[in-house]
Chains A and B, each alone.
Chain A
């Protein structure tokens, strides 16, 4: 649980301070590791600060799609889950 909190804080800090690609990598690792939906809220916070004038909330979109993709892919890539 502690690792999860530290990881989500790490994503939040990298999203706030940049560079953006590091935030995305941290977010993707978090998704693969924990598959927690709270990452979408973190993306939303980052988009709220920097991207309110933009056409698309990039962090939220990337994290949501990756999270859904991870959920869909996971049963297909693990052999010993049946």
Chain B
């Protein structure tokens, strides 16, 4: 009897293990089929299931209600408060508040484009350090006007990716730095067009032949969409024995520091080389020109030179146009 019981128990355990393994394999195969064959359906179902969690997360991170504000990184808030108190004492409060508001206003104006094109402001609720993928999750979705394929900006002109998919209240952004993602870039310094490949974590890698002088600090733009500077070459990997050298590009604003982004209201369409060249020219103008007030700016066309001697005063005005 004991032997029979023992045999039955072992058999039952084996059967249970086999059943679990079978179930696991069935789930995995089913999942892989959904993932590769009907990803949109999977995204829709998953987004529906995750909606309450994402909603709570959004409330916790972005809401201005008392409770989430209190819970949000309390120690950081306390430290910031002490710093602000110190600054308020130093600058008598109002001036500092005015500066902060001006900066925030400038940031928002910059995000929403000064050229009049309509953009949608969105908060970032998930970043690459929270996810194993190089994507951003935004707190605005279809009902807010986000469309798939729309470009995503930080600052006024810098494109960091595009909207890959949307739900009613969220949107998923694929970054240009997603591993394997290729994009055409223009590098100031050597003044060349080349292809950049995403490395993940906000890093781009550009590969050029050894003869081209690539230096740290060279600015890089993605001219296919806008003339905004994506970032600068932060490291050059060059070995004399290799036929090519690599430059690694980091964005001006680190991914972890992105709090708000702006999303274009139309999907990206293909871009021509002429458009890219126009964007490079615009970037050149933007980068090296500064708006100087007329009364300060001295040019050949409007300059006034005055010399005063001991006996006479001479004023000469030149009106030569260049």
Binding site for B on A (CB under 8 A): 12-13, 16-20, 35, 37-38, 40-41, 43-55, 57-60, 64, 67-68, 71, 74, 81-82
Residue of B24, B32, B165 near A68 (CB, 8 A) is B24
Q: How near does chain A come to B181, taking the closest CB pair, in angstroms?
A: 10
Q: Is A20 a contact partner of B132 (Cβ separation < 8 A)?
A: yes
B54 contacts which chain A residues (CB < 8 A)? 16-17
Q: Is B174 a contact partner of A48 (Cβ separation < 8 A)?
A: no
Binding site for A on B (CB under 8 A): 10, 13, 17, 20-21, 23-25, 27-28, 31-32, 34-35, 39-40, 42-43, 45-47, 49-50, 53-54, 57, 126, 129-133, 135, 137, 164-165, 172, 174, 178, 180
A50 contacts which chain B residues (CB < 8 A)? 126, 131-133, 135, 137, 172
List 16 additional A-B contacts (Cβ < 8 Å) besides A37-B27, A38-B27, A43-B31: A17-B57, A37-B23, A37-B24, A41-B31, A44-B35, A45-B49, A47-B31, A48-B35, A50-B132, A50-B135, A51-B133, A52-B42, A53-B39, A53-B165, A53-B174, A60-B31
Q: How near does chain B come to A77, taking the closest CB pair, in angstroms?
A: 14
Q: Is B126 a contact partner of A48 (Cβ separation < 8 A)?
A: no
Q: Is A16 a contact partner of B132 (Cβ separation < 8 A)?
A: no
- The answer for the CA separation of A51 and B64 in the assembled complex, in Å, is 30
Q: How near does chain A come to B117, taking the closest CB pair, in angstroms?
A: 26
Q: How near does chain A come to B200, taking the closest CB pair, in angstroms?
A: 11
Known: A48-B47, A49-B47, A71-B17. A60 touches B131 (CB 8 A): no
Residue of A16, A38, A55, A71 near B21 (CB, 8 A) is A71
Q: How near does chain A come to B198, taking the closest CB pair, in angstroms?
A: 12
- The answer for the CA separation of A43 and B23 in the assembled complex, in Å, is 15
Sampled A-B contacts (6; CB under 8 Å)? A12-B53, A45-B50, A48-B43, A50-B131, A58-B132, A58-B133
Residue of A16, A52, A57 near B50 (CB, 8 A) is A16
Report the nearest A residue to B125, measured CB to CB.
A17
